[in-house]
Chains A and B, each alone.
Chain A
Amino acid sequence: MNKTSFGLPIKARRIIAYVVLVLISVMCLIWFYLLFVNSSRSNASVSSGVAFLPSNQFGTNIKNVMNDSSVPLLKGLLNSFIVAALNATFSVYFSTMTAYAIHVYDFKGKQAIFTFILMIMMIPTQVTVLGFLKWIDTLRELNKSIVSIFSGMGGFYTVLRSFAKGGNYADYVWLILPGIAAPVTFYYLKQYMESALPLSLVEAARIDGSSEIRTFNEISLPLMRPAIAVQAIFAFVASWNNYFVPSHILIDSPKTVPILLAMLRSADYQNFDMGKIYMSIFIAIFPVIVVYLILSKNIVGGIAVGSVKG
């Protein structure tokens, strides 16, 4: 596009930009519209092809989604929210901390560690999933107190248990804590930190007598806000949509949304209902959109503020 705008007057460039942007927006938004249309159609109608106008089965589909204890969507939304919010929080907080360690301090082996993290960034998660599940299985065999020590989060575990009230939420630990070691998030924050966090600021804080932890939490973290918001969205969405690993871990635990949707999709002819599936998807993407809109304010408006020139 840019080549075609070479040397063009600003007005022509603007027109091209608007046309392209509108086309792209349509391409991005049409899916939401189609989702809405399909969630208002009966199974028989959806099976007979694409439609661009809504039908009259919206209420029926909502009723069908709500009246199905075998696929508890509302509870699933809450479960997914817990996993995604905690995973994203752990991921961005500890990744910033890791990036901070590399960026601010000079210590022996620093370059080696940085290289190492970059290397492990390339390992696909699926490659270790077999061993991961076997490892969890091993840990499950140990008694619960040992599990909580291993996961390093005794108190957290108890909170989850008490929240559960009958449901077994202990396995959620396996979905949340691995977020702490997120090399990709770390790498982005490290890159951003180089331009956004001048070391002189840290120095100044030290002179004021601030402890290292306080400097990190109260001075550095806020400066990183736009970058953290970006990565928080990425982590939240990735976790919200994650299916592969949770489907193997949450065998006897309350299910998250993608697993419930897969259950609906794999129902056989007796229970298979495309209208209900699309309605469930329609309901399921709502929370993510809300979280995104909240955080995106931070990105869209915040990037300029955050881009302190190094």
Chain B
Amino acid sequence: MAANDKKSTNNKRAVNYNKWGYIFLIPFFVAFILYNLIPLGMTVYYSFFEKYFDAGTGTWSSVQFVGFSNYIKLFYDGYEFDPRIFKYLLNTIIMWVLGFIPQIVVSLVLAQWFSDNRLKIRGSRFFKTVIYLPNLIMASAFAMLFSALFDKTGPISSLLFDKLHWINAALDFTKSVGLARFLVAFMNFLMWFGNTTILLMAGIMGIDESLYEAAEVDGANSIQRFTRITLPLLKPILIYVVITSLIGGIQMYDVPQILTNGSGDPVTKTTTLIMYLNQILVSKNYGVGGALSVILFLITGGLSLVVYNFMYSKKSKEKS
């Protein structure tokens, strides 16, 4: 339908109007150049220079052009191959997937329930309002409460261990890799599933009610209605959700940073790429920090190409 509309505007009179397309794009691009493009350029520029602060003596290194040496330093520690970038990329992906799967499942179910007219959830307004609330607490505050609750001396551990005897040792997320990663994923899930539900709900509400009515007349059950009507029509929003969540996942920083006090404990198994970047920037090693930024940019750039191609081919299939 949208395609038809576009064609109809494509007449001679519209040509005059179309210059407004460029005009309306000006603010975006001015801001983009000023606040993203130039900074990106400067980051790349810095990645070819050596410049760091030596906190031990309180002095700056001399600034000099070093070619790709900052990039090499990230993979080679002077004696052997340094696998940290790959380890941290893997950490990031594992924790993102652990959080995203329950997030998308729960959000889809909730969005479906909220918009299901036959289910008639009473107080749905309340529930809709409540699910987004965790996102309003600052990640730092959330992590403080979370770590108190899940601490080895905290109530969850003493309930499962001391009272119910479901586990044979106190929960200790500074010691157990699995538990630490689960907590990071769980916090991310709690903070973001409301956001996703709101987005999906908006999408589902946009689906023509008569489609469901027709399906019901044809005897489709709730599962069929969901998989045959809701899911296909929800695809644009679903793609949006997957992409934004992936972006957020690659940028994962505050939750593991605060939960582990920046250490990535246990034994750096919860350290994410951005936490690594942060460590380098905190130590004021701007050359290597620039190099890591560029590598992260290339990783995300590659990912975006893959995702974009995937979306684009799906879209063109739909149209044809």
Contact = CB atoms under 8 A, between A and B. Distances in A.
Answer yes or no: A and B touching, Cβ < 8 Å: yes
Interface of A: 1-3, 5-7, 10, 13-14, 17-18, 20-21, 24-25, 27-29, 31-32, 34-35, 38, 49-50, 52, 94-95, 97-98, 100-102, 104-107, 110, 113, 115, 117-132, 134-135, 150-152, 177-181, 184, 186-188, 191-192, 194-196, 198-200, 202-203, 206, 212, 216, 226-227, 230, 233-234, 237, 241, 243-244, 258, 261-262, 265, 277, 281, 284-285, 288-289, 292-293, 296, 299-300, 303-304, 306-307, 309-310
B113 interface: yes
Contact of B133 (A186, A200, A202, A289): A289
B19 A181 contact: no
Contacts of A216: 24
Given A28-B130, A135-B42, A195-B206, A124 B32 contact: no
Nearest to B141: A281
Contacts of B23: 101
B266 interface: no
Contacts of B126: 25
Contact of A101 (B24, B46, B109, B221): B24
Contacts, number: 308
Given A50-B148, A107-B18, A202-B9, 13 more contacts: A2-B109, A35-B137, A49-B148, A97-B24, A105-B21, A106-B18, A121-B304, A131-B38, A177-B34, A179-B31, A191-B237, A230-B198, A288-B136
Interface of B: 1-2, 5-6, 8-10, 14, 17-25, 27-32, 34-36, 38-46, 106, 108-110, 112-113, 118-121, 125-142, 144-145, 148-149, 151, 153-155, 190, 194-195, 198-199, 201-202, 205-206, 208, 221-223, 226, 236-237, 240, 243-244, 247, 250-251, 253-254, 274, 277-278, 281, 286, 289-290, 293-294, 296-297, 300-301, 303-305, 307-308
A118 B308 contact: yes
A16 B42 CA distance: 55
Contacts of A234: 195
A284 B142 CA distance: 13
A123 B222 contact: no
Nearest to B293: A127
26 contacts: A1-B106, A6-B222, A28-B133, A34-B149, A49-B155, A52-B155, A94-B27, A98-B28, A106-B6, A106-B21, A124-B297, A127-B277, A131-B38, A131-B40, A131-B42, A132-B42, A152-B30, A181-B28, A181-B36, A187-B243, A237-B135, A237-B136, A293-B129, A299-B202, A300-B129, A303-B205
